[in-house]
Structure 1
Amino acid sequence: MTTRREITLHEEDDGWWSAVDEETGVASQGPNRQAALSNLDEALSVTAAAEADQTKPPEPDAPWFDEHR
């Protein structure tokens, strides 16, 4: 079964890319689109594992994150 997700990709002024899962608000970044999406997959996995363990997911530590909320 395939899950559809709405992902926003944005190229930053410094050339890096941010990727945000609109449903969960989980975000990541990378030096190119593919890396940003790959990092987002990892961030979503870590968040899902934290939710399954009933622990708090990691807090965002990137200044660009608040700009895209």
Structure 2
Amino acid sequence: MSMGREIRLIEEDEGGWSAIDEGVGVASQGETREEALANLDEAVALTKEARETDTDAPVADAPWFEG
């Protein structure tokens, strides 16, 4: 049985959207909600792959993400 994902979507004051996967601890952004979610899916997949192969995942480099 698949566990659900907890994702936060934030509409930024400057425009655009941030998407954060709470369980994985990964965030991304995009100009639209759909783009932010698609970018988040890619970031989560890359992070999980890096963790499985025991390589370092990219460090969050975004001032809006405190993870």
Indicate whether the TM-score tops 0.5: yes
Note the C-alpha offset of 1:16. 1.1
Note the C-alpha offset of 1:47. 0.3
Letter paired with 2:29: Q
1:44 matched to 2:44? yes
Q: Which is helix-richer, 1 or 2?
A: 1
RMSD between superposed Cα atoms in Å: 1.3
Question: If the length of structure 2 is used for normalisation, what is the TM-score?
Answer: 0.90
Percent identity, please: 55
Question: If the length of structure 1 is used for normalisation, what is the TM-score?
Answer: 0.87
Q: Which blocks of at least 5 consecutive residues in structure 2 are unaligned?
A: none
Letter paired with 1:48: K
- 2:61 matched residue in structure 1: 61
Q: Which blocks of at least 5 consecutive residues in structure 1 are unaligned?
A: none
